Amino acid sequence: MLDSEDVRRSAFAHAFSDAVSARGVSLSWLQRRLKDRANPVSVATLSYWRSGERHPEGLRSLTALEDIERLLDLEAGSLVDLVCTRTRLGALAPAQNPFTETEVTAATAETLEILDAPPIDITRPISAHVVYTVDESGAPRQRTSRVLLQAVAPQVLDITFALMSAEHVVRRPECTLRGASLVREHLHESEHVYACVLRLDRPLVQGATTMLEVDMVIPPHDPGAMPVEEEALAFAIRPIRDLVLWTRFHPDAVPDWQYEFERTSSTDDIVARPLQPQSSVHQSRRDFGPGILGIRWGYDR
């Protein structure tokens, strides 16, 4: 009797073969198109996948499958959802909140309970690019995140997305999403944690990836309540392959002083480095986290 993995392998091979035939293309055509998209897969490998002799494994194969679905005019997930994922994840570090301050950790736990949020450890980020736009008042007005996420649970539909700060007030943003929709949100009364539950456009099986864009418009401070110092930050609850934080300042609001900061398990505490004030600051880290990466700035006015 075939086990569930054999059944899924057979289902994938049949679905892939049928899709190639229905599209009326050759494996050589498919191989060339994948190469053009920087997802090279050999004709021999594609042939093995079609016959069922081998099965796609690994993040690179998953990325190629997502392109194959588009090239063969299939619905998203038609092939990816049939792939066995048991060996795909590799080493998986435990998730942890990089904010160790008691007030923040307590506010996070309360917020997740109020939201009845899915566990934060059912996905892991592969890469994240975070862009902050600072307006003429010197305060952040927009935060845009583009994240490549991978599911590490058998089935992922809803995820938790959060903003946190130990030193500054977190204001409830107005969110625009691509790749997901907003289900519910909550700003903790301490104003140190904002979190929301997002529903992905399509469920992910373990090992599958998706791109997510979260654009947040941050409301202005109350008149007369502008803080002396502002910050922009990104954090990772698991090691992330590629993290970029880009902070852009209005020409009329270039800070009088700036410094970057980070905290990981290897630093124990916040490590700060002064910067020459400038209108655009980017920070890039490879294989970073769990940890916090950010920039703070202020004005002598």
Per DSSP, the residues of 140-207 read: EEEEEEEEEEEE-SSEEEEEEEEEE-SSSPPPPPEEEEESEEEEEEEE-TTSSEEEEEEEEEEEEETT
Between these two residues, 3 and 66, which has the higher pLDDT value? 66
d(CA 18, CA 77): 15
Q: What are phi and psi of 223, to 5 degrees?
A: -55, 135
Burial category of 203 from C-beta neighbours within 10 Å (exposed 0-12, middle 13-18, buried 19 and up) = middle
Using one digit for the tens of pLDDT, what is the confidence trace for 15-48? 999 999 999 999 999 999 998 888 889 999 999 9
What is the rounded average pLDDT for all residues in the chain? 89
pLDDT digits (tens, 9 = 90+) for 274-301: 999 999 999 999 999 899 999 999 998 6
Find the length of the chain. Answer: 301
Write down the pLDDT at residue 63: 78
User: What pLDDT does 84 receive?
Assistant: 58
CA distance 34 to 40: 5
- What structural domains does the chain harbor? 4-82 (1.10.260), 102-298 (2.60.40)
* DSSP-derived secondary structure letter, 49: H
pLDDT score at 87:
44
pLDDT digits (tens, 9 = 90+) for 106-141: 999 999 999 999 998 899 999 999 999 999 999 999
Q: What share of the chain is helix, strand, coil (3-state, %, to 5)?
A: 25, 40, 35
Residue 50 three-state SS: helix
pLDDT at 78: 83
pLDDT of residue 4: 52
Is the distance from CB of 250 to CB of 135 less than 8 angstroms? yes
Residues contacting 281, CB < 8 A, separation 6+:
246, 247, 258, 260, 275, 295
pLDDT one-digit tens code per residue, 52-99: 888 887 667 877 888 899 999 988 778 887 875 544 566 678 888 999
Classify residue 234 as exposed, middle or buried by CB count within 10 Å of its CB (0-12, 13-18, 19+). buried
Segment 161-198, tens digit of pLDDT: 999 999 889 999 999 999 999 999 999 999 999 999 99
- In whole angstroms, give the CA distance from residue 287 to residue 11: 36
Distances in Å between the Cα of 226 and the Cα atoms of 139, 140, 153, 191, 299 are: 8, 11, 43, 15, 11
The confidence score (pLDDT) of residue 1 equals 42
pLDDT range class, residue 5, cuts 50, 70, 90: low
pLDDT score, position 214:
97
Note the pLDDT of residue 89: 64
Tell me the two tokens of residue 156: 């992922």
Confidence of residue 2 (pLDDT cuts 50, 70, 90): very low
**Mean per-residue pLDDT for 239-261?**
95
- 216, β-bridge pairs: 143, 175
The arithmetic mean of pLDDT across residues 261-272, rounded, is: 83
Cα separation, 15 vs 6, whole angstroms: 14
Rounded distance between C-alpha atoms, residue 61 and residue 82, angstroms: 13
